[in-house]
Amino acid sequence: MSKVRDFILLYVNGQRHEVRGPEVFQNLSSYLRYSRGITGTKVVCAEGDCGACTVMVARAHTKPQAPAPPEYESLNSCIAPVFLLDNCSIVTVEGLGDSAGLSEIQDSMVRNFGGQCGFCTPGFVMSLANLYEHPQDVTPQKVKNHLTGNLCRCTGYTPIIQAALDVDPAKHRPLALRYPTNPLMKLVTESADKEVRIISEGQSLYAPISLGQACRYKAENPDTRIFSSATDLGVQINKGKIQMRKAMSLQLIPELFRCERVGQKVHIGAKVSLTSVQNFLGPLVPAFAEFLNIFASPQIKNVATLVGNLANASPIADTIPPLMTLDTQIILAGVGGTRTVPIDKFFLGYKKLDLRPDEIIQALEFQIPDLDRTRMGFYKTSQRRDLDISCINAGFSLEIENGQIKSARIAYGGVAPTTIRLAHIEKALVGRAFKKAELLHFARQISSSIQPISDVRGSAEFRREMAARLFEKFIIENSGAEA
Amino acid sequence: MTSTPHESARSHVSGEAEYIDDRPFTHGELHVGLVLSPVARGSLNAVHFEAAAKVPGVAGIFTAKDIAHNMWGSIFADQPFLVEREILYAGEVIAVIAAESVHALEAARRLVQLDISPVEPILTLDQAIARREFIGPERHIERGKVDEALKAAPHRLKGTLEIAGQDHFYLESQACVVYPREDRQLEIHSSSQHPSEVQHLVAHALGLKFHQVVCVVKRMGGAFGGKESQAAPFAVYASLVASRLNRPARLILSKDDDMRITGKRNPFKNFYEVGFDNKGKILALKANLYSDGGAYADLSTAIMERAMLHTDNAYFIPNFSVSGQVCRTHTAPNTAFRGFGGPKGVVTIESIIEDIAAQLKLDPLDVRQANVYAEGQTTPYGQTIDDAVLPDLFAKLRRSAEYDQRRQEIEQHNQESSSTYRGLSMTAVKFGISFTTRFLNQGSALVNIHLDGTIQVSTGATEMGQGVNTKIAQVVADAFSIPVSDVRVMPTSTEKNANTSATAASSGADINGQAALNACLNLRTELAKVAQEVLKRSPDSRGRKAAAAGTVGEIAIDGLPEAQNIVFKSGHVFDYRKPDQRLKFADLVNEAYLNRIPLSASGFFRYPGIFFNKETGQGKPFFYFTNGVALSEVSADRLTGEIKVLRADVLMDLGRPLNHGIDQGQVTGGFIQGMGWLTTENLFYDKGVLLSCSPSTYKIPSVHDVPREFNCSLLENPRNDRNLRGSKTAGEPPLLLAISVWTAIKNALTFARKGVSPNLGVPATQEKVFFQLPRGDDGGLHEETL
């Protein structure tokens, strides 16, 4: 029988709080604004798309690898339930300055006219704090990458970029120095054997400390929902599409944070954030890591997981085409042990998974591709290039041997109820010479073999033709010298 | 260049700046929510709210019958606050719910049942035009003999331009909180550009007198025109709750609800025929503009007037005939949005010029420069151009941004590149400054000088981020030559300045700043006289002690001539001939007080000499024009149509800018906001229901959309002496310069289409661009691209 904790432990701007009762199930932004009365953190879209609610968070967890003090990263507080901030130190815009006045980042924003109406400003300031938390050469491109998740309607961003570049690093003090996270680590280690159970007003939270417990609970409570990082569930709750009743959090299970190379394979646990995945895959599957640059925002990627994107099973999930072209294996943990399902068998229909009532996705594994003979390309089309849900996305991977295609994998999202592989095209490509003239005409077969629909992100006709065009783009970009 | 930071900059970055929903909850305060129509058109048979009323925590549910006077409208009173029977758009407000918690409110909202008989809606401009569903009269502006000139012209072009709407996407959604005060008074804190209208409409709706209602606006988290007329209904809903239940009431819209309920930039459909000579000189333009007003009139007729007044834009067109008609569709009533009609006129003529150049195989910039207004020419509505800076602006930017060299490079690139087409285009803006309705062009201010020499100033202007309060503080501080930190601009309140106009038409700083300056000048004249008299006295006969003892006589300044030798400098006041005998400003203020000289004054200002007859389409509607030009370069992916803005150069004449940093921010911000309208912002409806109602589906520009190289410069124009301290307002005009991005896309596609200019609507979404690219008959890749 494990020991039980009945509160969520967090720090806000250095002050310790034990959160109990209904506040556990609130959004962090509501908790900050209405329970703690600090209103600098703003809410605009309540769906993680504008960044006005950005705060910095250091998360302590019992890592399977060598423990190190947690580092501060940004997240969207409007879609994060308080219980997911267990064992976290949170810094809001109110925590940046000190008795001497504004922080250097804030002062630079003042100097450079970084705010106009001011409503987005706290979020931008926090994203800049994220940029400057780790020492690095700050370039305009890095600034933009760190501000992908923040919308401003007044300034045209130009003065904010200027403010970011004008920060004097010598005057900047990282949050890790101002709000040390060591005490947090100590607490986490001390309470590593305590699961969390909280029940309040028809809502409950269970945070087990082992996968076995989690599977048993899921089997016994078919109405439970796993909240991994809530970057999608949080949106649905805010929009009234689902109600939060019985929540389970997996964040106290150390093995789910495993992210490592095992021989020629990679293993990515269910709780590994997309930011970590992106860093990890950089040298191993560069095309995938680069593609993640135009996926979501830092605030989302710092908490959202690769497994979460997969489990959400959206037909336009941007990571699924790459995972399909990598022949990813999905490891499912159940009460009776684990089983492995190949990714193209995992999606049974629209948002329907091959997942039994007791099963939880534990990890993903795939072979590291041989970069010398594999051509990979991942594409998406959206109304706006950055931080936009795809209209259509695609993944291509061709294994080339002696100028011929040895194997091919083609996956499309946004053209069917699930992401699909085009097996007949793949088959037809095998044995062909890797030359533009040999391959481009397959584009027409691609567009004639899909039946997309029209919706808010694009018409069926656009999707059909764009599917062909993305294939052509891949071929042209990769076979330039071999035309 | 260093300029005074935004007066709220420090509180913005520290999180201290207070917006409506940041106000602490007061005892008994209720949350207010709205029940909206799910259909675009229908007949409301009944509202069943029995189940909703039983939700624990629900304090009240109100419908149209609870309102004393239900009809409103800024120009025509044609819109109900709450639906009575006829539903005219999806998102129209049917009922108001008040509850103790957000939780109870949302639960109750889900339980309200609406019994509606749907009716087939009119959803497009084409349908509305065909059925003659019109709002207001058709308006005309005419000059010369258009039909004859068209007939005689060596070249003619005919076309149609479809322009979609745009959501304001102010970050702070519509918000207000209302506190009931004794004797049926209401104190409203609203995120509104127009506190006087909020005051008037709340009183009207609830059957109160105006003096029972005060509306206060501290600041808005963005507005852009969306809170000019359309903040008021939300204040009415919250006030209804506050007055009926006698409890404070707070209404904060979610972004989704805000986007569903409120109107947008008007969509337009413009039909035109243009005649021109071999050099591209425009001889005649005939244009019929139709705008989509949505379900109710709102400000659409005035917006149409401004569109018509800007269809000439920067170009002299000798024979000119433009008509304008607002149409009714079953969508949210469209409203003011930065540019207020101007962008729809300007994009039309700029598009026409691209097409003329393509037809004649001329450089579009040469065509523009051939047509640009020269000093002394008159507009089709009869206003003389007497500060013609545009020829100069075109020439300067052509040179400084290396237009001709880049044009050559682009020609070459488009011959050689297999990955992208590039396009380059320079457009102009000549934006008329003034409300076209004359009586709105008035402003007032109240200046209070305190005994320590600090000043509080209040005007009718509202702060929405544009920096009007900063500029007013600077003007007031400079009037007395005291530090700007000694001046505080107070929240805008109808009890300090009444009968104010909306902060709109880019006129906020002009009108209210000049009113404040006028108040200061009156005070300064009197204070100078006091100084002159005080300086005559020995130091020991000054000050409170002497005055209290009654040992010195009182200074009387009535009837004294102006003290012309007294100057105010660096916090001191002295006779310029005796600069060593100086008074501190605070000491002078004390002397004035001790001698019973008023230290408060109100000021007033109206733009002089303007008039416009809307029926004849003639007059001098504008006090002045703000002018600028922009050059944009874009690339379009040959395969996917993905657009990138590679570079933009903006050059504007803002006279002698009051605050360089703030004006620069208006320019970059307006430009990027305009780019959104012209490229990525796509309002998507299904049966009249807006589906793109949040940032996950409605894409305003992100930081990555900023042109990779973005140069904005302000041209000093010391000749301008017409406006407040020689400044020209920035507000709206830079938004229209983003049209250069859209024409650059057209230019890039003209290369793709072998010299044929595409009929590209607004916005030029990737999908629209994609379908303008050459492609094979069966949807495959065009062979030439290979």
Task: Give dist(CA B724, CA B34) in Å, integer.
Answer: 43
Q: Which of A44, A158, A457 sits opposite B668 (nearest CB)?
A: A158
Report chain A's mean pLDDT, rounded to a whole number: 94
Closest chain B C-alpha to A107 CA, distance in angstroms: 8
A99 has pLDDT over 60: yes
What is the percent of chain A where pLDDT is above 90?
90
CB atoms within 10 A of CB B2: 7
Interface test with B, best of A44, A50, A387 (most B CBs within 10 A): A44
Q: Which of A122, A154, A444 sits opposite B669 (nearest CB)?
A: A154
CA distances from A136 to A132, A169, B3 (A): 8, 10, 30
B766/A66: higher pLDDT: B766
Q: Does B374 touch chain A (CB under 8 A)?
A: no
Residue B216 CA, chain-centre distance (Å), reads 20
CB contact under 8 A, A47 and B14: no
Q: What is the DSSP string of B720-756?
A: --SSGGGB---SSHHHHHTHHHHHHHHHHHHHHTTTP
Q: What is the ipTM of this complex?
A: 0.97
Q: Spell out where B467-623 has E strands.
A: 487-489, 492-493, 566-569, 572-575, 582-584, 600-606, 611-613, 618-620
Going by C-alpha positions, the residue among A407, A428, A393, A367 that lies closest to residue A315 is A393
Q: Which residues of B touch A147 (CB under 8 A)?
A: 703
Looking at the annotation, which residues of B are catalytic?
A: 732
Average pLDDT (A67-81) is: 91
Residue B603 has φ and ψ, to the nearest 5°, of -130, 160
Of the candidates B355, B356, B369, B360, the residue with the CA atom closest to the CA atom of residue B404: B369
Residue with token string 């067109």: B317
Distance CA B254, CA B261 (A): 11
Return residues 249-308 of B near A (CB < 8 Å): 254-256
Residues 467-526 of B with CB under 8 A from A: 467
d(CA A120, CA A118): 6
Cβ-Cβ contacts under 8 Å, B18 against chain A? 39
- Chain B positions touching A107 (Cβ under 8 A) are 13
Q: pLDDT (tens digit, 9 = 90+) per residue, A35-61?
A: 999 999 999 999 999 999 999 999 987
Question: Which among B255, B667, B705 has CB closest to A45?
Answer: B255
CA-based nearest distance B696→chain A, Å: 6
Question: Looking at CA atoms only, how far is residue B292 from chain A in angstroms?
Answer: 21
Token pair listed for A401: 């041997």
- The 3-state secondary structure of B609-675 reads CCEEECCCCEEECCCEEEEEEEEEEEEEECCCCCEEEEEEEEEEECECCCCHHHHHHHHHHHHHHHH
Q: Which of A93, A161, A240 lies closest to B15 in CB terms?
A: A93
CA-to-CA distance for A27 and A49, rounded, in angstroms? 15
Taking residue A113's Cβ as centre, other Cβ atoms within 10 Å add up to 29
Collapsing DSSP to helix, strand or coil, A8 comes out as strand
Residues of A in contact with B706 (CB under 8 A): 144, 156-158, 161
Could you say which residues from 567 to 626 on chain B have a Cβ atom under 8 Å away from some Cβ of chain A?
none
For A476, name the nearest residue in chain B, comparing CA atoms only: B786
Sign of CA dihedral A258, A259, A260, A266: positive
The verdict on whether omega for the bond into residue B763 sits within 30 degrees of 0, i.e. cis, is yes
Among partner residues B669, B680, B699, which is closest to A116 by beta-carbon distance?
A: B669
* Cα dihedral: B395, B398, B402, B403 (round 10): -140
Cα separation of A365 and A291, whole Å?
19
Q: Which residues of A touch B695 (CB under 8 A)?
A: 44-45, 47, 49-50, 151
Chain B residues touching residue A383 (CB < 8 angstroms): 680, 682, 699, 765-766
pLDDT at A483 (0 to 100): 45
Among B112, B96, B35, smallest CA distance to B63 is for: B96
Residue B705 at interface with chain A, using a CB cutoff of 8 Å: yes
Contacts of A472 in chain B (CB under 8 A): 639, 781
Query: Parallel, antiparallel, or unpaired: how do β-strands B30-36 and B249-252 relate?
Result: parallel
Q: Are strands A347-349 and A337-342 parallel, antiparallel or unpaired?
A: unpaired
C-alpha span between A204 and A246 (Å, rounded): 5
- pLDDT over 90 at A64, yes or no: no
Whether residue B706 and residue A476 make contact (CB cut-off 8 A), yes or no, is no
β-bridge partners, B434: none
Distance in Å from the first CA to the final CA of chain A: 67
Task: Collect all residues of chain B within an 8 Å Cβ-Cβ radius of residue A476.
Answer: 418, 639
> C-alpha A178: how far from its chain's center?
27
- The sign one gets for the Cα dihedral B114, B118, B124, B127 is negative
Kindly give the interhelix angle for B660-678 and A158-165, rounded to the nearest 10 degrees: 120
pLDDT in tens, B259-298: 999 999 999 999 999 999 999 999 999 999 999 999 999 9
Q: Residue B582 phi/psi, 5° resolution? A: -125, 150
Asked if B712 and A158 come within 8 Å (Cβ–Cβ), the reply is yes
- pTM score above 0.95: yes
Each residue of A17-28: pLDDT tens digit?
Answer: 999 999 999 999
User: Residue A63's pLDDT band (boundaries 50, 70, 90)?
Assistant: low
- Write out the E strands in B264-360: 268-276, 282-292, 319-327
Q: In this complex, which of A115, A161, A476 lies closest to B13 when CB atoms are compared?
A: A115
Cα-Cα end-to-end distance for chain B: 51
Q: In chain B, which among 215-234 make CB contacts under 8 A with chain A?
A: 219-224
Which residues of chain B fall below pLDDT 50? 1, 779, 784-786
Q: Cβ contact (<8 Å) for B694 and A45? A: yes
Pairing of strands A404-413, A392-401: antiparallel
Residues 634-673 of B with CB under 8 A from A: 639-640, 642, 661-662, 664-665, 667-673
Cα B351 to Cα B368: distance, rounded to the nearest angstrom: 11
pLDDT of res. B451: 98
Q: What is the pLDDT of residues B618-634, one digit of tens each?
A: 999 999 999 999 999 99
What are the beta bridge partners of residue B193?
none
Q: Scan for tokens 């006289």, then name that residue.
A: B529
Between B14, B254, B672, which is nearest A102 by CB? Answer: B14
Residue length of chain B = 786
Q: What is the DSSP letter of A211?
A: H
Neighbours of A313 (CB within 10 A): 20
Query: Is A18 within 8 Å of A85 (Cβ atoms)?
Result: no
- DSSP SS3 for B97: strand
Q: Which residues of B touch A33 (CB under 8 A)?
A: 21-22
- What six digits make up the tokens of B624? 């002045």
Residues 15-44 of B with CB under 8 A from A: 15-19, 21-22, 24-25
User: Would you place residue A322 in the very low, low, confident or very high pLDDT band (cuts 50, 70, 90)?
Assistant: very high
The answer to whether the Cα torsion of A459, A460, A462, A466 is positive or negative is: positive
Residue A468 Cα, gap to closest chain B Cα (Å): 7
> What part of B 166-195 touches A (C-beta under 8 Å)?
168-173
B694–A465: do the CB atoms touch at under 8 Å?
A: no
Determine the Cα–Cα distance for residues A197 and A17; give it in Å rounded to an integer. 17
CA distance A24 to chain B (A): 15
Contact at CB, B14 and A388, closer than 8 angstroms: no
* Nearest CB neighbour to A465, from listed B684, B692, B779: B779
What mean pLDDT comes out for the span A160-166?
Answer: 98
